Amino acid sequence: MKLLKTILFVFISVSAFSQKNYVDGFIILKNQTDTLKGRIDDQDWISNPTRINFKDVNNSEQSYEIAELSSFGITGKENYLVAKTDLDITPFTTNALLKDRNLIVKKDVILAFLVLLKADYTLLYLNDDTNKQHFFYKEGEKITELINHSFLEERNGKVFEFNNKLYQKQLELLFNNCAKTIKTNNLTYEIRTMTDKFIEFSECIGCNYTCYVKKKEDKGIFAVGVMAGISSDRNLVAHGVYTTYFSSKTIVPNMLFGLSVSFFTKRNLNRTSFVFETFFNRENVKIEALNYSTSINYLNFVPLMRHQFNIRSKIKPFVGGGIHIKHIPTFNSGIQVYGPPISIFLVGEGGIKWNNLLASARFKFMPQKNSEGITVYKQDGVDRIIYERINFQFSLTYLLYTTAKKAK
């Protein structure tokens, strides 16, 4: 228990510590045209930033509100355009929708837009502080929002949710500038599909401006790592030889090691991942008074869903949940196992990620106690194992390979 408290204390302390992440980038100050190259504090912004930290070539650090800038960007990753426009702030979550077809619009808001496509009609993107997605297009100096409006309406005493998909009608009118028909009726309000349509439109009308520069495509991320750790599994083992029976609990902590595989979906911003772990651990029993010792080998499978909090720090806390499947392999070891072939635990976890290193503390709970246990027949006798219902585990995982490419 002291070990667990120590782990939790370290986790909370480290998570609270904010660390900056400077990478190559640039800024252009408001009402100026000169590009200032240097290094920007890249915080993997989930919502479009309202302030940035910048170091110039002399390593002098300064913080800028976006209103002080006209543009900024991270080399090889993404560019932002700062401008003033009207913003649709109509509630969009299902439990907050209004019984009103009219929009709520905030006038003359200064925003930092992520540039998805730079062309005569530039496509811009904003994820605001309520996690609402917005798309805009810029023609000359004019910026127009493409509206995706959901609302409630009562019909025959029942309330229904509607979406007028106004952006499809807006783009149909805009795309009339192209000699060929560009269909918009099935267009979804997503980065990939919107960007592809604007590329098709730009290629149709040609570019008078410097032709389009597309933001790097967001991809699913696949990672493989090795893991090692300790577990508090203190299970009861009753050993019998002929008419002699005695019991003891397994020695803690016991070691574990194995592999971890994780996958992040597209446009997930490394927040939610699907994780699968398989690892080996050995539990030992030793009774010095009887000069007896034995060990039990386990193969473990752990599917998890993990959510990472992308705070403004290199160290990212995460939580997760899943199941832990525990199995005694027989192979050709000369042992036979009777009882349930697998034992299942529910798992909850908390941890931190720093670059390619993850530290995780877990709580394991067996929802249904198996009082009969598992019987293992071996050459030196019979073991009956009864699992403790509650256990803890601490592990470190190092990612050996990942398809994610982060700016250095």
Mean of the per-residue pLDDT values of the chain: 83
Q: What would the mean pLDDT of 173-185 be, rounded to a whole number? A: 86
Phi/psi of residue 63, nearest 5 degrees: -105, 135
233 and 297 in a common domain: yes
Question: Sign (positive/negative) of CA torsion 184, 190, 196, 198?
Answer: positive
Identify the CATH number of the domain in which residue 363 sits.
2.40.160.20
Q: What would the mean pLDDT of 312-316 be, rounded to a whole number? A: 70
306 and 369 in a common domain: yes
**Residue 387 belongs to some domain of the structure:** yes
pLDDT digits (tens, 9 = 90+) for 111-130: 999 999 888 899 999 999 88
Cis amide leading into 91 (omega within 30)? no
Paired tokens of 354: 């720093």
Q: What pLDDT, on a 0 to 100 scale, did the predictor assign at position 4?
A: 46
386 and 273 in a common domain: yes
Q: What would the mean pLDDT of 388-400 be, rounded to a whole number? A: 92
**Residue 36 belongs to some domain of the structure:** no
Q: What pLDDT, on a 0 to 100 scale, did the predictor assign at position 25?
A: 93
**Rg of the chain in Å (alpha carbons):** 29
Closest by CA position to 371, among listed 358, 389, 359, 392: 389
More confident residue, 212 or 386: 386
369 and 253 in a common domain: yes
Q: Which stretch of 49-58, 262-271, 364-373 has the lowest confidence by average pLDDT?
A: 262-271
247 and 381 in a common domain: yes
User: Residue 408's pLDDT band (boundaries 50, 70, 90)?
Assistant: very low
Amino acid identity at 210: T
Closest by CA position to 302, among listed 219, 404, 231, 376: 231
Q: Distance (Å, rounded) from C-alpha 10 to C-alpha 71? A: 39
Q: Which stretch of 43-47, 89-93, 116-120, 235-239 has the lowest confidence by average pLDDT?
A: 235-239
User: Residue 215's pLDDT band (boundaries 50, 70, 90)?
Assistant: low
**Residue 22 belongs to some domain of the structure:** no
**Residue 251 belongs to some domain of the structure:** yes
Q: What pLDDT, on a 0 to 100 scale, did the predictor assign at position 369?
A: 74
User: Residue 76's pLDDT band (boundaries 50, 70, 90)?
Assistant: confident
249 and 311 in a common domain: yes
Report DSSP letters for 148-207, one per residue: --EEEEEETTEEEEEE--HHHHHHHHHGGGSSS----TT--SSHHHHHHHHHHHHHHH--
182 and 145 in a common domain: yes
Q: What pLDDT, on a 0 to 100 scale, did the predictor assign at position 110?
A: 95
198 and 115 in a common domain: yes
229 and 179 in a common domain: no
| Residue 99: count of CB within 10 angstroms of its CB | 9
Closest by CA position to 224, among listed 406, 408, 397: 397
**Residue 46 belongs to some domain of the structure:** no
Phi/psi of residue 152, nearest 5 degrees: -105, 150
345 and 240 in a common domain: yes
Of 215, 235, 259, which residue constitutes the final position of a domain?
Answer: 215
**Residue 152 belongs to some domain of the structure:** yes
Q: What pLDDT, on a 0 to 100 scale, did the predictor assign at position 199?
A: 86
Q: Which stretch of 66-75, 97-106, 240-249, 389-398 has the lowest confidence by average pLDDT?
A: 240-249
Q: What pLDDT, on a 0 to 100 scale, did the predictor assign at position 325?
A: 93
Closest by CA position to 326, among listed 361, 284, 283, 359: 283
Given the DSSP bridges, would you call strands 244-249 and 374-378 parallel, antiparallel or unpaired? unpaired
**Residue 393 belongs to some domain of the structure:** yes
Q: Which stretch of 37-41, 216-220, 328-332 has the lowest confidence by average pLDDT?
A: 216-220
Paired tokens of 316: 């990212």
240 and 209 in a common domain: no
pLDDT at 157 over 90: no
Report DSSP letters for 36-85, one per residue: EEEEEE----SSPPSEEEEE-TT--EEEEEGGGEEEEEETTTEEEEEEEE
Q: What would the mean pLDDT of 358-385 be, rounded to a whole number? A: 80
Angle at 309 between CA 188 and CA 17, to 5 degrees: 145
281 and 163 in a common domain: no
Of 188, 215, 242, which residue constitutes the final position of a domain?
Answer: 215
Q: What is the pTM of this model?
A: 0.54
**Residue 3 belongs to some domain of the structure:** no
Of 170, 197, 215, which residue constitutes the final position of a domain?
Answer: 215
Q: Which residues contact 345 (CB under 8 A, 6 or more apart)?
A: 323, 324, 326, 364, 365, 366, 367, 391
Parent domain of 380: 221-402
Q: Distance (Å, rounded) from C-alpha 78 to C-alpha 76? A: 7
Residue 383 exposed, middle or buried by CB count within 10 Å (0-12, 13-18, 19+): buried
pLDDT at 375 over 50: yes
CA distances from 119 to 26, 111, 126, 191, 200 (A): 20, 20, 18, 16, 12
How many structural domains is the chain composed of? 2
